[in-house]
Amino acid sequence: MRRPGIMLTEREKRYLFTGILLLAAILCFQFVLIPLWENRSRLDRSLEASRKTFSEIKEVAAEYRKLAGRSVDAGALIAARPPGFTLFSFVEEQAGKAAIKPYIKSMKPSTGGQEGNLKETSVELKIEGLSLEQLVAYLYFVEDPRYLVTVKRIQIKRGREEALGMDVQMQVVTYERGGTQ
């Protein structure tokens, strides 16, 4: 007895087998290989981003260690200052050394926030009619690492007339032990 069914010729069987293989290859490519390649490229991007983040963390850690070393130095510098040191008098004294006192229009002391046991103090200066040489000389005198004094912000504008020189606004800062002036 013969079973009822579809009888295929050898040629039709080859076509059917080739079609099935082609369909299996397309499905394998579509649902296996492409997702694997996409995952790999996504993992490569993620790995690159992680490497970049790790590099940035290492840089920040190095900067932190550097600053932590400076904070120990800051305490020693503050302790080594002469008794009665104030930023206002220091800034005024350096203006005298640089011979720019007549050009100073205002000096305004202020205190900033406190970081740990250190408090930031500052003096805002408005200076008018300075020459470049006078400004450079004053910056040389006022930025004194021995006393932990630095210029935090500076704004330089041309004077109203070319002959009048430059108008300068700057903020000079230092740190003191919290609670002491």
Q: What CA–CA distance (Å, rounded) separates 78 from 22?
A: 81
- Summarised one tens digit per residue, pLDDT across range 80-123 is 888 888 999 999 999 999 999 999 999 999 987 777 778 889 99
Residue written as token pair 């108008």: 167
Cβ atoms of 157 and 129 within 8 Å: the answer is: no
What pLDDT shows up at residue 74?
A: 73
Nearest Cα residue to 126 out of 172, 79, 180, 178:
172
* Tens-place pLDDT, residues 124-180: 999 998 888 999 999 999 998 888 899 999 999 887 666 678 899 999 999 887 754
**What number of other Cβ atoms are within 10 A of residue 90's Cβ?**
20
The closest of 108, 165, 157, 91 to 134, measured between CA atoms, is: 165
Summarised one tens digit per residue, pLDDT across range 8-37 is: 899 999 999 999 999 999 998 899 889 999
Hunting for tokens 């369909």 — which residue is that? 23
Give the largest CA-CA distance in the chain: 125
Instruction: With beta carbons less than 8 A apart as the criterion, state whether 110 and 91 touch.
Output: no
d(CA 152, CA 154): 7
Amino acid at 43: L
Beta-carbon count within 10 A of 104 CB: 17
Tens digit of pLDDT for each residue in 29-83? 899 889 999 999 999 999 999 899 889 999 988 888 887 766 657 777 888 888 8
Task: Give the predicted TM-score (pTM) of the model.
Answer: 0.57
Q: Which residues partner with 174 through β-bridges? A: 121
